[in-house]
Structure 1
């Protein structure tokens, strides 16, 4: 028995699918669709009514082809497609589809806002990096201007390093920006598909998976800038010390400020804590409660650098102090109280004198500490004077007049007191 002819597969385009599944007699979706030998489809009840009362040959309502008998074949595939279309256009289906589309659109729009925020932050970071990089270049140029004829190669080398680091930072942010923009394109394509489906309400679209963009690491301005805030002329001192302008400050201790248990050498360059307290003279400048001492020199403007030899002492504090600090009371050393200090405890624990203290990671124990003060930019930095590695940086330093500050601290137990020594170098003609 020959197989019954089958109709060509109906079109599945959204605009014609319903038309293809509509009965030409009742103009509604097929109900129990049957197929004539001419391959046209009708509802079983519709074609039966159409042929009712007809004797002899019957015709197709569409193509008018005659048939000798009233024969048709049930088309189960078309019936299944009709039921799918009918269910997909029901009120419940429409409401569920609208809800899913609405929720997905809302989620995608929220994700878009997050990406827009991330992109804005990335671009802001790039602007900051460019601005800080430009400012640092000007600073480097200013530091080297007085030494250009002798140290041109040093300046060029340092600027090249700065540019490379700036490009590395920009490249990090650029990679993150590109990832965010790529995710944005995928997201916008999904939103477009969702909006199109929201208009037709026939089926949920095939969406691309949302790409997760990692949170971009923060740009650490202090870490990026720290090496370029060093006294750059001093970094090259071993090549051309006499060209430094200004050179290291030649400080001396002010004995009138010394706590009674501090002994100051005759040349005012060594201070050491001793067991026997001297009888202090009546002096408002003197520290009475804490084992502290100031330098005789003060600074209120410009840039200054000095070095202190601390040797193997297990405990000390040094830095700068405001002129107005209370010298007769026991005060915690912190910027809030007018002190910007670096401190050592237990021979190996280095701390920034914040409130509370901030533990520092120091690779080796410096024997000499360099202190750099920029009054105009309000920066106080501490360096290992042997290799000029940065130990600590206060970016919000003092205002007004300040003095170099020192504390050999109280010797514990039977330990031998360790002196603090102000280091002097061959005299040079200073300027500024």
Structure 2
């Protein structure tokens, strides 16, 4: 406020100087009907008239004493207007209004400064939140990829150790056979020495019998080295094999869901393995139970979740419409209701082949760069997140950040396409871990 005080302090001095210039030298008050004499000095008309009436002899200017031949003056309308402005600006009412405006303007600036200070504080809090959230997310990303690296490291270590053992076993076999050959070689060389010595003495001595020779050990034929068998498992597509093995270590790994036939609306037919669901115009009557949807063409999975993180994938192909997501265990299954979180549904929907929406009320329209043929659904029960992904490239489609409480079930509505073509199914995708030997 100190910077604003200087201009305000300067204003009275300016007004005071102007007031002096507009003050009559005779009455020492602001001009009333200001008139100008020939000498350019100004006076109040009543004041100069009264002054000249009391003067004997030639009329003069009360200020410069210049004599005039007659009593003449000229009304100065410009000075009169200036006097009125000064008189109005120095009135008590005007000053009160000005002071009121000053107080109100100051109060408005104080409130504005307080609003700006609050905005600055909020923005700084946002920055701290972003930094803290970013640090937490970085730690989570490092943890997730660290777990994957650990899986790969453990698999690499296991495979290298297996290769080392098999290599040592093959080397040991060859080494054992090599030792047997070397022993047989020594025995043969010793017999050759004995025979050579006996041959050398036959010139002086008649040889009556062969010298005593050592029994040469029999050497088995060398074991065959099947290089193809030895190297085939290590020349295999190791990345693909390891990728398949990783499924059982993923957290969460893809959940192998199955449809709960007891929840299926009567127009939904489920395959024998409970992984394919199709909606037909005709109705198939099932045994009545409290779990079955009777008004809405819906179906749930048999597997429910109330804790942990879970992920599953659904193949929707080129179906022109469907609903997908999760539903609370306690949803109303016998009435026709709109899907919304308030009703216990967290869903994604498709209509008319390319109109995607999140199941809020009202619907939240979504713009997708491509139509997914496979959908991924992720649920974090503790964080209450429900997210939908294009499983073809794992791009995020939509997330609910205020998800369900309590137990939830994967939810599906296959929806009739409305055309004369054969109804298209929805299919639960399974990625069972492959049992690998070794």
**TM-score bracket for the superposition, by shorter chain length:** 0.5 to 0.7
The answer for the alignment partner of 2:26 in structure 1 is: 25
Q: Which SS does the other structure have where 1:15 is aligned?
A: helix
Residues 151 and 102 of structure 1, relative CA distance in 2, 3 Å threshold:
farther
TM-score normalised by the chain length of structure 1:
0.61
| Displacement after TM superposition at 1:337 (Å) | 2.3
Residues 116 and 48 of structure 1, relative CA distance in 2, 3 Å threshold:
same
CA contact (8 A) 2:34 2:42 kept: no
What runs of 5+ residues in structure 1 fail to find an aligned partner? Answer: 1-11, 153-236
The 5 A counterparts of 1:290-329 are 290-329=296-335
Q: Which stretch of structure 1 is more off in the superposition, 45-54 or 375-384? A: 45-54
| Higher gyration radius (CA) | 2
The 5 A counterparts of 1:109-258 are 113=111, 116-117=114-115, 120-121=118-119, 123-128=121-126, 130-148=128-146, 244-258=250-264
1:400 and 2:398 are equivalent in the alignment? no
| Displacement after TM superposition at 1:406 (Å) | 1.1
Q: Which SS does the other structure have where 2:82 is aligned?
A: helix
| Displacement after TM superposition at 1:257 (Å) | 2.5
CA contact (8 A) 2:347 2:359 kept: yes
The 5 A counterparts of 1:103-114 are 106=104, 113=111
Aligned-partner Cα distance in 2 for 1:407–1:66: 110
The answer for the alignment partner of 1:166 in structure 2 is: none
| Displacement after TM superposition at 1:398 (Å) | 1.0
Q: Which stretch of structure 1 is more off in the superposition, 393-402 or 98-107? A: 98-107
Aligned-partner Cα distance in 2 for 1:328–1:67: 113
CA contact (8 A) 1:291 1:410 kept: no
| Displacement after TM superposition at 1:380 (Å) | 1.4
Q: Which SS does the other structure have where 1:380 is aligned?
A: strand
| Displacement after TM superposition at 1:298 (Å) | 1.2
Superposed CA RMSD: 4.3
The answer for the alignment partner of 1:340 in structure 2 is: 346
CA distances 1:118-140 after superposition (whole Å, capped 9, x unpaired): 66346425523541452243134
Aligned-partner Cα distance in 2 for 1:372–1:361: 20
| Displacement after TM superposition at 1:42 (Å) | 5.2
Residues 14 and 356 of structure 1, relative CA distance in 2, 3 Å threshold:
closer
CA contact (8 A) 1:247 1:305 kept: yes
Residues 135 and 32 of structure 1, relative CA distance in 2, 3 Å threshold:
closer
CA contact (8 A) 1:56 1:69 kept: no
Residues 340 and 91 of structure 1, relative CA distance in 2, 3 Å threshold:
closer
Count of paired positions: 329
The answer for the alignment partner of 1:262 in structure 2 is: 268
CA contact (8 A) 1:32 1:74 kept: no
| Displacement after TM superposition at 1:97 (Å) | 8.1
